[in-house]
Structure 1
Amino acid sequence: QFPVALGVSASGEPLEMLQEFPNYVAEANPAIAAIGVTSLLIMFLWPLVGARVKFLKPIPAPMVVLLVAIPMGMGFDLLHEHSYHLQNHEYQLGEQYLVRMPDRPFGMFDDITFPNFHALQEFKAWKWVMMFFIIGSLESLLSAKAIDLLDPWKRKTNLDRDMVAVGVGNLVAASVGGLPMISEIVRSKANIDNGARTRFADMWHGIFLLLCVALFPTVLHRIPLAALAAMLVYTGYRLAHPSEFVHVYRIGREQLAIFVTTLVAVLATDLLIGIAIGIALKMIIHVVNGVPLKALFKPYIEVEEIDDKTCRIVASESAVFSNWIPLRRQIEQIGLVQHRNLIVDVSNANLVDHTTIEKLEEMQRDFEQEGLKLEIVGLDTLVPLSDSSHAARRRGLASVRRITIVADSSLEEWLEQELVGRGATGFTAEACVGAGRRDIATGQITKHPQVRIEVIVLPQVAESILAFLNSEVKPQHRVTVCVETVQVVRVGEFEPDNGDSGH
C-alpha cells in the first residue's frame, strides 16, 4: 500500500516491491504523497491526541483522515485531469487517484453481469474455480483463527458457519458479476480497534457500505486512494508491531524462528506457500525435539475410567499441533458430549507444543462454561523451552539452582520467610555449629550455633534470592552462600505459584 499512498504505480512480489521502495519515494507524486503522509500521521498521532483530550477520544482516526484527505483532494482538483510542475518535473493528477465509483445514485446496478455457464465447458475455467475455492477457503480460515487470537474476549469462531457464509456470499456475488470474497483480517482488526464486540459489527459494516455505494457514490468518489492506503499501512503495522516479535520470542526461540520464517516466506512467495513453509519448519523442530514420525499426525491416547463423572485421557509420544484435532475430538466427545469431568495426562509425552498448551487452556474455559472441569496434569514433569507459561515442553532433566545458606541460628525464621516470599516452593533447614575465619584466627576454635538452609529454585527465582542476600543480609550479618546448578526430573514442583513472589 505504500506505493498507492505515494501516488506511484507498482506491481510485483512483496520483497521485490520492498527493494524498490527508494525508487517509489524518488518517483512519488508530491500532491498525492502529501495526502498519504498526512493521513498516515493522523492515524499514528490521533490516538495520542485522544488520550490527552478526552472529548476527542470517541472520534475514530479514520474519520479524521477522511475529514482532512477529502478537502485536500478537492484542493488538488483530483476530479479533473490536469498536470502541474514542481522543481522541473511534471506530474499528472486526475480521477485515477480517487476511489472508483458510479457517477449517479444506484449506478452500481449498471454493472450487473449474469454468468455465462458455457465457460464451464473449458478446463481452464475449472482450474480457476478450484483455485478460488482453495485460496478463498484457506485464507478465510486463517483470517478467522488470527482474529480469534486478537479477540479481547478469547471467543472462538464457528468455522463451519464461516465457510458456509463465504460460499453462499461468493455464489450470490458471482451470479450478478461480483468478485469472490474472503474473511478479511484487516477489516476485522479495524472493527476490534474501534470497540466492536459481536458479528453485528460486520453486518452493519456491510449494510453501510452497500447503502453508501448505492446512495452516495459521488461523495465516496471524492475519497483519495492515498488516504485508504494510509489506513491499511497503519493497520498492517499494528498487526506486525515489534512487540509481537518480543512476545513470540518470550514464548520460545523456536517460535520466533517459525514466526520469522513464515513471515519472510509469505513476503517472498504468497500466503499459502508461506504458511506451508512455516508448518514444515515446525514439524522439523518437533522431530528434533523427540517427536517420533509416527506420532506427528496420530495421537497415542488411552482412556481410563475413574468414576461415573470423571475420565482420564493419557497422551503418549506427543501432543502437538499436527495431531491436535483427533485429540480435541476425543476430549470433546468424552467431556462436553458425555458431560463428564476430564483429566488429560501428558506426563508420558515426549513433547507438548505451544499450540496444544494454548488449545487445552481454551478448552478449560469451554468446560467451565458447561459446569465441568478439565484438568491438565503432567506438564510439571516436562522441561519448558522458555520461562513462558505457554512454552513448549519436552521430556528431559531440567536445570535449576540449589542455594545453600549458612547463617546464625537467630536468622532462621526471617530467612525462611524471605525465601518463600521470593518464590521458593520449599526449603530444608537443619541446626549445626561452625566457626568462621575470625573464630579460628586466634588459634582457638570458637563454635557458634548456626542453621543450614537449602532451597532448590528456578533460575529467575535464584536471581531474586541472591539479590536479596547481597543487598539486605550480607552487609549486616555473617553468612555463607553457595549456588550450584543441579538437574531435576519434575521441574514443575519448583515453579512458584502466582502468589508466591510477593516481594
Structure 2
Amino acid sequence: MNNSNLFKNLKSDIPASIVVFFVALPLCLGIALASGAPLFSGLIAGIVGGIVVGAMSGSQIGVSGPAAGLAAIVLTAIGALGGYQNFLLAVVLGGVIQLAFGFLKAGIIGYYFPSSVIKGMLTGIGIIIILKQIPHFFGYDADPEGDFAFFQVDGENTFSEILNAINAISPGATLIAIIGLGVLLLWSNVLSKKGKIFQLIQGPLVAVAAGIIYFIVTAGNSTWGISSEHLVSVPVPEDASSFLAQFSFPNFGAITNPQIWVTAFTIALVASLETLLCVEATDKLDPRKRVTPTNRELLAQGTGNIISGLIGGLPVTQVIVRSSANIQSGGKSKMAAILHGFLLLISIILIPKLLNKIPLSVLAAILFIVGYKLAKPGLFKTMYQLGWKQFVPFIVTVTGIVFTDLLIGIGLGLLVGIVVILIKSFQNSHFLHIEDKSNGKHKIKMTLAEEVTFFNKGAILKELDSLPRDTYLELDVRKTRYLDNDIIEILEDFSEKARNRNIDIQLISERGTIENPDSFIQFFRLRPKSA
C-alpha cells in the first residue's frame, strides 16, 4: 500500500487510533506488571508494536504490542536467566529466530486452523475480556490489567476475583464506570447516527475525558473520590535524563548461556503462533476481507522483537484485543496501528501526569464493549445451527480459553477439530447401496470416495466383513483419485475371503469393468497416475 492510500483513510484511522491507544495503555502497563518486568517495558513494546511492526506488517487492521499470553513465560524467564538484561537478550534472539521462520515461509501454518476454532478463539477472548474487566469496573484492581489466564499468579482465578470485587466495591470508580458505559452506548447506538462530528469524536475519548473530570472534581471526597490505586499508573520522569534512564539494554555477554537460547526459541515459537492465530482471526473480522501475508507478518514481528529487546521492551505479537478494538472503531488501514504507537510515545513524554488521572474503571467500560462485540450471544446460535462438526470444536475452544488460557484453548479446539475430521473421514470413505436381488444373490454396490486413506481402513473392512454369503458386490472406483496402499491390501485380502463365501466381485473403473479381478494390487499399481 503506497503512502497516498495510507493517508487517504485518516478520517477513519485517527479516531480508531485514539480508541486503540486507550485500550492499549492499561494493557501495556498491566502485562508488564503481570510479567514481573519494569512498567516502562510494556510501553516500549506497545510503541514498537505500533510504529515498527505496524509499518512493516502486511496487515491493514492488525495491532501489535505486548501479549498477555507471554506474561507467564516472561515472569519465569526473568528469574531463571538471572536478571532482566539477560532476558532482553533472549527477546532479541527470539526476534532473529522469527526472521528465520519468515524466510523459511513458516507462516503457512496459520492457514491450517479450522474456521470453527478461530471463531471460538474470538468468542472465548471476548468472554474472558468481560470477565476480567468486571473487577476493574467496580474499582477492584488487585489483579493487573492483561492477566487473561484463568489461574492467576496471586493464587486467585477469574471467578474468585469477581467474588472478591463484590466485597470491595469502590463507589466512585463504579459510578464513573457506569457513566462511561452509558456514554459509550449512547454514542454508538444514537449519537453516531446524528452527525459526522459524533463519528469523528469517538465515544471512548468522551468517556475517558469524563473520567478525568470526575477524578479532578471528586478529589478529596472520601466516599465518591477515586484513589490512586484505581488510576492508570504511567512512570513519570523528572527530566530528560530520568526518562532515558528507563531504557534497558541486553547483556550480550550471556549469549553462550544455553538457557538464553531455550527461552529465545520459546518466545519465538509462542509469539509466532499467537501472531498467526491473531492474523487469521482479524482477517475474518475485517469488513473488507483482506488477506494478510503471513510470512511477511513473521518478518515484521521478528524485527519488532529485535528492536524491542534492544531498548528494554517486552516481546511483541499481534494481539486480538487491540486489533478488534481497531476494527470496531472503524480503522481502515495500518495507519491506525502506527498512529496509536505514536500516541503512546508522545503521551508518555508530554502528558504522563494527565494519563495518571484516567480511572481504570472507565477503561474497563470500553473493554466491555470490545468483549461483547467479540462474543455476541447470537454467534452461539449460528454455530449450533451449522451442525455438531462446527459447534463442538467451537464450544471446546471457547471453554478452553475461558478456563485455561489462549494457547491451551486453541490446542483443545484444534484437537477436537482433528477428531471430527477423522470421524467424518471414517464415515465418508465409501457409499454402500443395497439395490436388489438377482439370481438368488444380494446385489450390493459400493462406491469409493475421491480420496481413501488408511483412516478409512476400519470402516471399509467392517462393511466388507459384514457382507453375507452369496453376494454380488459391485465396487465402483471411477471417482477415486487416490487409494492408499492399506486399502488396496484390504481389497486383496478380501478377494481371497470372497471365494470362500461365494461372493462375486465386479470392479468398475474408468478403464472398464473387471469380473473377479485376480489381483487388486496389480490393478491399482498399474493404474494411470491421473486416475
Output the amino acid matched with 1:93: S
Q: CA deviation at 1:276?
A: 0.9
- Higher helix fraction: Structure 1 or Structure 2? 2
Of the three residues 258, 268, 272, the one matched with 1:133 is 268
The answer to whether residue 138 in structure 2 is matched with residue 6 in structure 1 is yes
**1:31/1:286 CA distance change after superposition, 3 Å:** same
**1:72/1:85 CA distance change after superposition, 3 Å:** closer
The answer to whether residue 244 in structure 2 is matched with residue 146 in structure 1 is no
2:330 is paired with a residue whose SS is: coil
Of the three residues 97, 102, 106, the one matched with 2:236 is 102
Matches within 5 A, 1:40-59: 40-51=181-192, 53-55=194-196, 56-59=198-201
Output the amino acid matched with 1:50: L
What do residues 416-475 of structure 1 show as CA deviations (whole Å, max 9, x unaligned)? xxxxxxxxxxxxxxxxxxxxxxxxxxxxxxxxxxxxxxxxxxxxxxxxxxxxxxxxxxxx
Moved over 6 A (4+): none
The answer to whether residue 404 in structure 2 is matched with residue 269 in structure 1 is yes
Output the amino acid matched with 1:73: F
2:104 equivalent in structure 1: none
**2:181/2:365 contact within 8 Å kept:** yes
2:107 equivalent in structure 1: none
2:202 equivalent in structure 1: 60
The answer to whether residue 160 in structure 2 is matched with residue 28 in structure 1 is no
2:318 is paired with a residue whose SS is: coil
Q: CA deviation at 1:154?
A: 0.8
Q: CA deviation at 1:212?
A: 2.2
The answer to whether residue 74 in structure 2 is matched with residue 74 in structure 1 is no
Q: CA deviation at 1:51?
A: 4.8
1:240 equivalent in structure 2: 375
Equivalenced residue count is: 297
What do residues 189-248 of structure 1 show as CA deviations (whole Å, max 9, x unaligned)? 222222222222212222232222222222222222222222222211111111222232
Q: CA deviation at 1:175?
A: 0.8
**1:101/1:220 contact within 8 Å kept:** no
Give the distance between the partners of 2:165 and 2:268, measured in 1 at CA: 34
2:300 equivalent in structure 1: 165
**1:145/1:10 CA distance change after superposition, 3 Å:** same
**1:252/1:226 CA distance change after superposition, 3 Å:** same
Give the distance between the partners of 2:179 and 2:480, measured in 1 at CA: 58
**1:155/1:92 CA distance change after superposition, 3 Å:** closer
2:176 is paired with a residue whose SS is: helix
Output the amino acid matched with 1:287: L
Of the three residues 222, 231, 255, the one matched with 1:84 is 222
**1:291/1:102 CA distance change after superposition, 3 Å:** farther
1:84 is paired with a residue whose SS is: coil
* Identity value in percent: 29
State the structure with bigger RCO (CA 8 A, min sep 6), 1 or 2.
Answer: 2
The answer to whether residue 343 in structure 2 is matched with residue 208 in structure 1 is yes
**1:281/1:349 CA distance change after superposition, 3 Å:** farther
Give the distance between the partners of 2:243 and 2:175, measured in 1 at CA: 31
Give the distance between the partners of 1:240 and 1:349, measured in 2 at CA: 42
Name structure 1 gaps, 5 residues minimum: 295-313, 319-346, 351-503
1:342 equivalent in structure 2: none
**1:148/1:156 contact within 8 Å kept:** yes
2:245 is paired with a residue whose SS is: helix
**1:265/1:273 contact within 8 Å kept:** yes
1:196 is paired with a residue whose SS is: coil
TM-score after normalising by structure 1 = 0.53
**2:328/2:370 contact within 8 Å kept:** no
**1:137/1:182 contact within 8 Å kept:** yes
**1:70/1:252 CA distance change after superposition, 3 Å:** same
Give the distance between the partners of 2:324 and 2:165, measured in 1 at CA: 28
Matches within 5 A, 1:62-461: 62-77=204-219, 84=222, 93-94=227-228, 97-103=231-237, 108-291=243-426, 316-317=451-452
Output the amino acid matched with 1:72: Y
Output the amino acid matched with 1:59: I
**1:155/1:105 CA distance change after superposition, 3 Å:** farther
| 156-165 or 91-100, which deviates more | 91-100
| 148-157 or 237-246, which deviates more | 237-246
Give the distance between the partners of 1:284 and 1:111, measured in 2 at CA: 50
**2:171/2:223 contact within 8 Å kept:** no
**1:193/1:85 CA distance change after superposition, 3 Å:** closer
**1:120/1:9 CA distance change after superposition, 3 Å:** farther
2:179 equivalent in structure 1: 38
**1:116/1:262 CA distance change after superposition, 3 Å:** same
Q: CA deviation at 1:158?
A: 1.0
Name structure 2 gaps, 5 residues minimum: 1-132, 152-156, 430-448, 454-478, 483-531
1:410 equivalent in structure 2: none
Aligned CA-pair RMSD: 3.2
Give the distance between the partners of 2:228 and 2:161, measured in 1 at CA: 25
Give the distance between the partners of 1:74 and 1:348, measured in 2 at CA: 75
**2:141/2:229 contact within 8 Å kept:** no
Q: CA deviation at 1:93?
A: 1.6
1:446 equivalent in structure 2: none
Of the three residues 11, 14, 18, the one matched with 2:159 is 18
Output the amino acid matched with 1:14: F
Output the amino acid matched with 2:341: G
What do residues 288-339 of structure 1 show as CA deviations (whole Å, max 9, x unaligned)? 2234999xxxxxxxxxxxxxxxxxxx96249xxxxxxxxxxxxxxxxxxxxx
